[in-house]
Amino acid sequence: MVFTDNLHMLDIARIYLIEDDRTILHFLEETLKLRPHWRLVGHSDTFAHARVMAPLSNADVFLVDLGLPDGRGEDMLRTLAVTKPDAELLVFTVFGDESRLIHALQCGATGYVLKGCSSQELVDAIEQIREGGAPISPLLARMLLKQFRAPDPFGAPDASGSPVEWPELSDRESEVLKLVAQGYVNKEIAIRLGIGPATVSTHIKNLYKKLSVHTRVQVVRVAQERGLI
Amino acid sequence: MRRRSGGVARRLKGRAVPHYVWVGALLVGLMLVLHWVSRPTAEPGLVKVTTANALVPDLVGAVVKQVTLPHVLDDEESRWQKRVDYDLPWPEALSYADRAEARLGLLLPRVGTRFRVLLNGHEVAQVGWYAEADRTINTAWFPYLVNLPAGLLAERPEYNRLQVQVQGQLLERSGLWPLQIGDYDRLFVRHRLLDLWQVMGTWMMTVIALLMGVMSLMLWAALRERLFLLMAAASFAHMVRLWLSVVLEPPMSFELYFFLHRASFTLYVGFFCLLMEELFGLRVLIIRWLSYFLLVVGPLWMVWILYTQLYDFYRVWAGLLALVAATSLTIMSVQLVRHGQLKQDQFLVLLVALFTLLTGVRDFLVVQLNFPGEADIRWMSVGGLALMLTLGWVLLQRATASAREVHRLNDTLAENVARRESELRTAFEQLRLSEQQRAVEGERRRLMRDMHDGLGSQLVQTLNAVRSSNGRLETSVVESMIHHALDELRMTLDSLEPMDGDLPTILGTLRQRVAPALEAACIELRWQVQEVPPLHRLDARGVMHLFRCVQEVFANVVKHAQASRVTVRTWADGQRVYLAVEDDGVGLPPPEQRRQGRGLNNIHLRAEKLGAQVRFYPTWPGTGVEFSFPIQHPGVNPSSDWARL
């Protein structure tokens, strides 16, 4: 029973859109026609609305625009990362704004979609991430390698003043990142390392989790201090 | 700043109690103590003998005459000046019932230059009496305590005959000074006091003067200030004077001894006057000339005294010394007061000098002119000590002042350096800013050009196509054109990402853009990129050039090569980094048939701007393009160094 339930859960994506651009909403609605059993369970066009409503929804995929009119998408990600730890947080980004993307990943994003992608590309991205994959670009990989190698990646201690513990990359993760940075695609990397393509994706996803672990811990700590949880 | 505040602090402190006030009080107190110590006292059991019957023994028809003590042989006729025997009358107050019970002694505060004591015809003490005549012996500096043995005393006191026999030395004020007879134990205490005062005190002064001289000399060697040299000269002269005043038998002839002893004092006074003048910074010529007069004429005068053997000449000279010293001090005081420049330190020195002068005058009055007071206790020793300590203190002030000055200069220097450094930093900052502005400006122009040539022209093409189609244009065509425009924009934006000249990442980024086109043309992409050293020429501008080059190459492959596979490779040797794109297509047409298109030209032009060499070659089948970049080692680029500063 449990097994079929899980399958069922995987099959039906409940999507929540946080985006002030109406055309994106229309685009999403068009896209959902490709997957009729997916549901758009909520939509916020302001930060204020999203902050109240999004955590209450039962969505398992959040599409978050970083450039909201009344707040920072990163703060939204932080909130969702804590209140919806099992949900996928996809960031809408313009082409290759990797610097901001890294920050978004640190804030808890689990993937990203390029603005201007086709409907099929959006569906692919959502399916990929639900199957345990993660999108990545050579530049992003390069930046991540740099981040993980840096002695103090955040440049400053966290809010409580204790030094930041930066998780370490495993050898395999480091290899994957290096190859991505050199322009290799997942299939090629899998062949080179003698592993399955899905495993490559899993490695990347784990990387993203490691990136945001710090943020999650920090947010929880701050919330505890303020008596919120 | 620090110095000023220090000065204020000192002034405030000085206003509270200037140091000359308490030093003055100290000196007055010292004078009272001296007065109390040396007041004329009549101790019970002791009798002071101030008269004696003197005779010259070897003379035929010797004359006995009663003299008052002190009896100075230099003041007598020449026949008195070699040897005199003094018969001391037994004081009536000094009686005893049983001679065995009597413990008596004789204290000679000053006698010389050689002497012996006889009690009832038996010699009970002698110093230098039997020494050879050519030896220089002077007993006059020391107090002597002589025990009068009970066995030699007469049964009845008035029968005792006490004799002091003296051998004189001309110019040394030989003779006999008032002496004391009485209880031995009391005399012993008295003798200890005199010995401490005259002998030990003088030795201590000698050592202090030596120390001052050596220290001044070292300070002079370090600081090269005339003041320290004068201080050293004065101290050494003083030391010689003191030393010769406290040795019984100086290892030299009498003439040399006399000369050194007297001349050293003259030099001391002369150097001292110069020192004071230098210390006060007055530049008073008359004091200088007076001092030079003392320094030059003094020694000559001593030679003259030795020649004439007249002690009166020394008295004249001593008077002259006192006069010069007093005059100099007076002139300096008047000058300082008149110019209102009398600083506290100078006032202090003047005060102490005056004190020393007073002690000298007191000694002169008591010893030479028989004013009331204990002649055996000289005040001048204390006065000299006070003056020496004060001068030492002044010396210390001077030395530390120069140290303070060095510190101040250091501070000023550090301040200057810091200021200059900040100026330099500001200048560099401005330079950096303008450099930055220049770079930003260049980058802006490049972006504008790129936008204009790439995105702009693509949009214009699209717009024209839409306009000229009269609504018959297919959506897919427009979509592809806009996609193309978006790709242009993406490429421009990608070039702005910080890729640090990492060729593989740059190629990987480009791959994302060109992969769909290759896929659409059913061309397999073989990616054989490996890590190579970073290329500094691949900044944002360089990346854009490289993008365009590689884009052009791929466009050629897609359009003309009819290839099924394209391989991208990177590698490096010690000198260069290589990038090769090879296809398996039809190959380049022979040169004569080659269309002189803009494509290949553009590749060459852009490669040149990258500092890269381009080579086209056949790959049988197909064509290869190889870019080779020189490896630029870090630190070679001067502009980056400049910016880092």
Write the residue in B490, B509, B531 that is nearest to A138 by C-beta: B509
Chain B: residue whose CA lies nearest to A114: B490
The predicted structure's pLDDT at residue A96: 58
Is B645 a residue whose pLDDT tops 70? no
Judge: A95–B531 Cβ closer than 8 Å, yes or no.
no
The predicted structure's pLDDT at residue A216: 61
Write the residue in A94, A116, A183 that is nearest to B508 by C-beta: A183
Structure tokens at B602: 């553009």
Q: What is the mean pLDDT of residues B307-335?
A: 86
Residue A161 φ then ψ, to 5°? 90, -10
Is A6 a residue whose pLDDT tops 80? no
Q: What is the mean pLDDT of residues A20-26?
A: 88
Total structural domains within chain A: 2
The predicted structure's pLDDT at residue B192: 92
Is B200 a residue whose pLDDT tops 70? yes
Helices vs. strands in chain A: H and E counts, helices first? 10, 7
Q: What is the mean pLDDT of residues B36-55?
A: 83
The predicted structure's pLDDT at residue A7: 44
Instruction: Determine the residue among A27, A93, A94, A95 to mutate to test chain B binding: the one whose Cβ has the most chain B Cβ atoms within 10 Å.
Output: A95
Domain end residue (candidates: A86, A102, A131)? A131
Chain A: residue whose CA lies nearest to B487: A95
Is B374 a residue whose pLDDT tops 90? no
The predicted structure's pLDDT at residue A198: 84
Select from 2.60.40, 1.10.530, 1.20.1070, 2.30.30 the CATH code of B2-41+196-412.
1.20.1070
Q: Tell me the nearest-neighbour CA distance from A138 into chain B, angstroms.
A: 6
Residue A157 and residue A208 in one domain = yes
Structure tokens at B470: 């009269």
Average pLDDT, chain B: 84
Q: Does A52 touch chain B (CB under 8 A)?
A: no
Residue A109 and residue A151 in one domain = no
Is B5 a residue whose pLDDT tops 50? no
Residue A125 and residue A143 in one domain = no
The predicted structure's pLDDT at residue A95: 60
DSSP B156: S
Residue A62 and residue A116 in one domain = yes
pLDDT digits (tens, 9 = 90+) for B393-430: 887 887 788 788 888 999 999 999 999 999 999 999 99
Is B503 a residue whose pLDDT tops 50? yes
The predicted structure's pLDDT at residue B16: 65
Strand partners, B49: B179
Is A41 a residue whose pLDDT tops 50? yes
Count of residues in chain B = 645
The predicted structure's pLDDT at residue B640: 40
Let me know: does A193 contact A186? Beta carbons within 8 Å.
Answer: no
Judge: A183–B531 Cβ closer than 8 Å, yes or no.
no
Triad B235, B169, B251: Cα angle to 5°: 50
The predicted structure's pLDDT at residue A62: 93
Residue A28 and residue A105 in one domain = yes
Residue A13 and residue A74 in one domain = yes
Q: Which residues contact B19 (CB under 8 A, 6 or more apart)?
A: B344, B348
Is A2 a residue whose pLDDT tops 90? no
Judge: B509–A184 Cβ closer than 8 Å, yes or no.
no
Judge: A116–B486 Cβ closer than 8 Å, yes or no.
yes
Q: Tell me the nearest-neighbour CA distance from B345 into chain A, angstroms.
A: 59
B181 confidence band (pLDDT: 50, 70, 90): very high
Chain B: residue whose CA lies nearest to A94: B490
ipTM over 0.85: no
pLDDT digits (tens, 9 = 90+) for A95-107: 656 778 888 888 8
Domain end residue (candidates: A91, A115, A131)? A131
Residue A147 and residue A122 in one domain = no
Residue A60 and residue A106 in one domain = yes
Contacts of A119 in chain B (CB under 8 A): none
Q: Which residues contact B150 (CB under 8 A, 6 or more apart)?
A: B99, B100, B101, B102, B103, B104
Q: Does B499 touch chain A (CB under 8 A)?
A: yes
B368 confidence band (pLDDT: 50, 70, 90): low
A155 confidence band (pLDDT: 50, 70, 90): very low
Q: What is the mean pLDDT of residues B344-355?
A: 83
Structure tokens at B615: 């080579």
Q: Indicate the domain borders of chain B.
A: 2-41+196-412, 46-191, 499-645
B315-329, B446-460, B580-594, range with greatest mean pLDDT: B315-329
Contacts of B480 in chain A (CB under 8 A): none
Q: For B499-645, CATH number?
A: 3.30.565.10
Q: How far apart are CA B619 and CA B505, in angstroms?
A: 26
CATH architecture of B46-191: Sandwich (2.60)
Structure tokens at A69: 């009119």
A220 confidence band (pLDDT: 50, 70, 90): low
Of the given ranges (A182-196, B266-280, B338-352), which has the lowest mean pLDDT?
B338-352
Residue A101 and residue A61 in one domain = yes
Q: Does B496 touch chain A (CB under 8 A)?
A: no
Helices B475-496 and B503-520: crossing angle in degrees, nearest 10, is 170
Residue A105 and residue A24 in one domain = yes
Is A158 a residue whose pLDDT tops 50? no
B107 confidence band (pLDDT: 50, 70, 90): very high
pLDDT digits (tens, 9 = 90+) for A65-91: 888 888 888 888 988 888 888 889 998
Is A4 a residue whose pLDDT tops 50? no
The predicted structure's pLDDT at residue B422: 93
Q: Does B502 touch chain A (CB under 8 A)?
A: yes
Average pLDDT, chain A: 80
The predicted structure's pLDDT at residue A43: 93
Residue B455 φ then ψ, to 5°? -60, -45
Domain of residue A87, CATH code: 3.40.50.2300
Judge: A137–B493 Cβ closer than 8 Å, yes or no.
no
Of the given ranges (A31-45, A152-166, A169-183, B191-205), which has the lowest mean pLDDT?
A152-166
Residue A92 and residue A25 in one domain = yes
Q: Report which of residues A18 and B13 the model is more confident about.
A: A18
Which DSSP string do the residues of B39-88 spell out, in sequence order?
S----TTEEEE-EEEEE-TTSTTPPEEEEESSEEGGGS-GGGSSEEEEEE
Domain end residue (candidates: A131, A160, A183)? A131
A214 confidence band (pLDDT: 50, 70, 90): low
Residue A114 and residue A148 in one domain = no
What range does the domain containing A43 cover? 2-131
Q: How far apart are CA A212 and CA A218, in angstroms?
A: 10
Judge: B497–A98 Cβ closer than 8 Å, yes or no.
yes
Q: 504-523 in B: which are within 8 Å (CB) of A?
A: 504-505, 507-509, 511-512
The predicted structure's pLDDT at residue A92: 82
B244 confidence band (pLDDT: 50, 70, 90): very high
Structure tokens at A159: 């809010």
Chain A: residue whose CA lies nearest to B482: A116
The predicted structure's pLDDT at residue B636: 46
User: Is it true that the peptide bond before B250 is cis, omega within 30 degrees of 0?
Assistant: no
Percent residues over pLDDT 70 in chain B: 93
Closest CA to B142 of B65, B184, B194, B96: B194
Closest CA to B573 of B620, B609, B532, B614: B532
The predicted structure's pLDDT at residue B499: 79
3-class DSSP assignment, residue B537: coil
What pTM, to 2 d.p., does this model score? Answer: 0.51
The predicted structure's pLDDT at residue B12: 45
Q: How far apart are CA B533 and CA B541, in angstroms?
A: 19
Domain of residue A150, CATH code: 1.10.10.10
Is the fold of B2-41+196-412 the same as that of B46-191? no
Q: Tell me the nearest-neighbour CA distance from A16 into chain B, angstroms.
A: 27
B367-376, B446-455, B502-511, range with greatest mean pLDDT: B502-511
